[in-house]
Amino acid sequence: MDISCLYDKGVSFDEFVNKDKDTYKEKVLEILNKIRLSDELINKIKIIDKKIKVLVCAEIWCPDCMINVPVLAKMKEYNNNIDISIVEKNGNEDFFIKYSEEDRIKIPTFVFFDEKFKELGSFVEHPKKIKNIISKGNQPNIIVAMRKYRKGEYAEETVKDILEILLRSQ
């Protein structure tokens, strides 16, 4: 499928959240409302002066999606040049599999494009800081980090990873 057709098939953040009427919706909105970014990060988000299209593969029930998709929505609140289109995993495996290091798609997967759909980079599942903690294999550190992550306490790390992709293309 053509990337622009896949993008057009997606839904907005609000539509994504409203697919659920209960617990998942509440959790996603709770995370969104708790996100606090430093002035430095907010300013970096605001200086993005080109249209950015973000194709997101996500499911409302996924814990990592509940954490990272709201981060992307928060970034859009600060800069309308960021446009988000969210598609389900089912039926889109052929496109998103190339962003996974395994034989299965990890969600969320964010793929960043310029306005002409030139790919700028991708973000998959966790911020780098969490991936580094997991890769070291220290179980107590992993448990503590994942508890904090699940509460949304690593939102700034997700923003930093995304900004690294977006600002190198400016």
Provide the number of structural domains found in the chain.
1
pLDDT digits (tens, 9 = 90+) for 22-79: 899 999 999 999 999 999 999 999 999 999 999 999 999 999 999 999 999 999 999 9
In a domain, 137, yes or no: no
Output the CA torsion sign for 58, 101, 63, 44: negative
Which two tokens mark 99?
């962003």
Please indicate, yes or no, if residue 9 is contained in any of the structural domains. yes
Q: What is the mean pLDDT of residues 118-130?
A: 95
Given a cut of 90, whether residue 124 has pLDDT beyond it is yes
Residue 72 belongs to some domain of the structure: yes
Is the pLDDT reported for residue 169 higher than 80? no
**Binning pLDDT at 50, 70 and 90, where does residue 6 land?**
very high
pTM for the structure as a whole: 0.94
- The reply to whether 143 falls in a domain is no
Separation CA 25–CA 114 (nearest Å): 29
CB atoms within 10 A of CB 144: 12
Q: Is residue 162 a part of any domain in this protein? A: yes
**111 lies in some domain:** yes
| pLDDT level of residue 15 (50, 70, 90 thresholds) | very high
Structural domain span for residue 69:
3-126+155-168
Helix (H, G, I), strand (E, B) or coil at 169: coil
The residue among 117, 115, 123 whose CA lies nearest residue 160 is: 123
One-letter amino acid identity for 107? I
75 found inside a domain: yes
Domain containing 51 — which CATH number? Answer: 3.40.30.10
Length of the chain equals 170
103 pLDDT band, cuts 50/70/90, is: confident
